[in-house]
Structure 1
Amino acid sequence: MTESNLKETFYRQFHQDVATLQRQIESLSSTSTSGGERNQAIDDCLAGIDRLSHDVQDASSLLPAYDQRTYSETIKKLSEKLSSVRNSFDPPKKFSFKNRKKDIVKPEVTPGISSATPSLPSEPTPPSQHQETMQQDPSTSALSHKSHAHITLPPTPHATSSPTVSHLTHCIVDLSAPTKANAPFAALYLRSITSSLIITGQVAGAIHITDVSNSVIVTACRQFRMHGSKHVDVYLHSTSRPIFEDCEGLRFAPLPRVYATPEIDQSANQWDQIDDFKWLKAEPSPHFNILPEAERVSDEVWNKRIPGDDESLDDTLKAVNVR
């Protein structure tokens, strides 16, 4: 992929991400405040803006200074728009001075929207070391810090949600139920995952994958972005060209039929039109391959063994070639 093509690809993806964030920000006013749903949606917008900033930084070696300033100004305007919308929900308090000797004003903190990513305790509880199956709360912002767990989501609508799945070891995470209920995620973030199977279901926007290794990912999305990952098999349906950078040992295959929906079937699929963002040579990138058909997980495994009702977690992971 030539440098000019990389710049064009980055331009296209950047503006698609901006358009997605603008829609998310504009929808905040109609998002319910119950159960912290609006606060979570604001967190998702903050995370998306933060991701855009990192994308521009990662591409700085390819972008002229003028383009970098233009992208940064666009991100700044997004942040200002989000701040304006947030203030319309909860206008800043007006302070007035009173004739009192000791009048201490403590700053207010709005819960749940202080940062782009969910905060973690200073000393996290060690992850569980036993096999468990759970129905995770659909409003949870992050499915994090688990080991040897089988996690599923109930079919609750998630159309405005952009969850984060992070810090997992030797786990199975199945998020496909909302897709079957016709409620895809707005976006999805996968971070710091090792030796696991992640089934995302349908993502209406972008899936961002960072620091994943020795794992299998099954996803249908509009945009696929992967950073700093290695030895990952990706079963993919993407309506735009998948992009990765700073990765190695990736293998791509089409989405298994069991996870396809009529909507997915009707959309374009560019699962095999993959761009290595930092590979500028004429020959194909050595950092990814198409997964040979003989090595792909069979339909029987996806249909019968992945639900895991009669299988141990270890056996299921072996069945999908988690290394």
Structure 2
Amino acid sequence: MDRLADTSLVGGERVDATDHCLAGIARLSNEVKDAASYIPTYDQRIYAEAIKALQDKLSETRAMVEPRPKFSFKTKKNPSAVSLADAAQLAVEGRRHIPGYNSSPGTSSVGSSAAQTPNYPSTPLNEPDRQLQPRAEVAPTSIPALTVDNAEKLKPEEQVTPFAAPAVSSVTVNNHYGLHIMLPASGSTATVPASITSLRHCVVDMSIPTVNGKPYASLAVKGVKESLLVCGQIDGPAHITGVENSIIVVTCRQFRMHNCANVDVYLSSSSNPIIEDCTNIRFGRIPRVYALDQDCPDLDCWNQVEDFKWIKPEPSPNWSLISQDDAVAEEVWAEIVPGGPGWSLDDILRAIKIVKA
């Protein structure tokens, strides 16, 4: 990249050099994709950020070294203008309302030029190759929802890594037993709501899609037992309802918990967390591996919990802080929780003390 400015434009040498840089970045991206099954989540984040930095640097370099385009006038279409096809259609429709006028039999209507071409989702970077599978047309006004759904109980040893479209309207993980679910980087390409419902004995990691500044708009968790939920970054509120014997890791603006029992919450929140009708809830600071670089400890309200069902001046007996002895170690979050060869689902749940050793 540093030599692009010194590369000659004659004979397409600079174009060839640029293509060489693009190919190198693509090769690195593919290598990370191939290794995603056994490298820790933290390392995946580091590699993804490094590849993104290379892409940005190449774009900046090309912008500096490429010659300026020649000045030319651009034609801008008047929003109120109509095409010849539209004019013909309007004329046909207008004549139909003239008394005594009959359109000739077999006349076909003229298609409007305003019709939009269907969009096709492309295979995202670092995701499985789906070129051999048929592409489904997506209506321009319809954005699909990413759903990891299962109506039947699955075997504990089965693993799920769902494929996600480049643009989704929501992210949903629903009705699973005994699975380790990791959403890929394409699980969220925009600020969309996320929900996790009806899980038991599972590990769900939704943090990877939010690494590059793409937080979920909101989070709703309901009906979860004996599970670990790594929820990533939430731009708005996180509503937790009916969770038992589980651990939740989340960064959000607002945290609301209802009807929960025996739950450890590793939290970063810009407002005071609120609990209601809860028992034995423990709060701890967000682990370093999931913390944002711009997090300011002085503005984090993770331990300023308010119990709406405890109005007495004494501290609420329904919540407490996680002691240093009971907290999950940082190396467990970084090395064991992401999974990989040698670490089963039960190994992870034992390491974070959801399942007793």
Q: TM-score normalised by the shorter chain: which range applies?
A: 0.5 to 0.7
C-alpha distance in structure 2 between counterparts of 1:35 and 1:297, whole Å = 44
SS across alignment from 1:264: coil
Q: Is residue 255–residue 272 contact of structure 2 (8 Å, CA) maintained in 1? A: yes
TM superposition outliers: structure 1 runs of 4+ over 4 Å: 33-36, 110-113
Map 1:204-215 → 2, pairs under 5 A:
204-215=235-246
**Pair 1:175-2:206 in alignment:** yes
Shift of 1:222: 0.4
Q: Once the 2 structures are TM-superposed, how far is the Cα of residue 34 of structure 1 from its aligned partner?
A: 6.4
Deviation at 1:133, TM superposition (A): 2.2
- Give the gaps of 5 or more residues in structure 1: 1-32, 37-88, 91-109
- The reply to whether residue 319 of structure 1 matches residue 341 of structure 2 is no
Question: 1:216 matched to which residue of 2?
Answer: 247
Pick from 158, 167, 184 the counterpart of residue 154 of structure 1: 184
2:197 paired residue number: 166
TM-score (norm 1): 0.60
1:145 corresponds to: 175
Cα distance in 1 between the residues matched to 2:241 and 2:193 = 15
Alignment check: 8 A CA contact 2:248 2:265 kept: yes
Amino acid aligned to 1:150? H
Gaps of 5+ in 2: 1-117, 122-139
Secondary structure of residue in 1 paired with 2:289: helix
Counterpart of 1:230 in structure 2 is 261
> Residue 339 of structure 2: SS of its match in structure 1?
coil
Whether contact under 8 Å (1:133, 1:152) holds in the other structure is no
- CA distance 1:281–1:199, change in 2 (3 Å): same
Higher helix share: 1
Partners of 2:253 and 2:190 lie apart in 1 by 14
2:156 to 96, 105, 130: 130
Q: Deviations over 1:271-309 (max 9, x none)?
A: 000000121111011000101011100011011101110
Q: Secondary structure of the residue that 1:304 maps to in structure 2?
A: helix
Does the 8 Å CA contact 2:156/2:345 hold for their aligned counterparts? no
Structure with more contact order per residue of length (Cα contacts < 8 Å, sep ≥ 6)? 1
TM-score between the two structures when normalised by the length of structure 2:
0.55
**What SS does the corresponding residue of 2:295 show, helix, strand or coil?**
helix
Q: Would the aligned equivalents of 1:170 and 1:194 in 2 still touch at CA under 8 Å?
A: yes
Q: Percent identity?
A: 38
Change in Cα spacing, 1:158 to 1:191, as seen in structure 2 (3 Å) is farther
Q: Residue 176 of structure 1: CA displacement? A: 0.4
What is the CA RMSD across the aligned residues, in angstroms?
2.7
> Residues 46-95 of structure 1, C-alpha deviation per residue, up to 9 Å, x if partnerless?
xxxxxxxxxxxxxxxxxxxxxxxxxxxxxxxxxxxxxxxxxxx99xxxxx
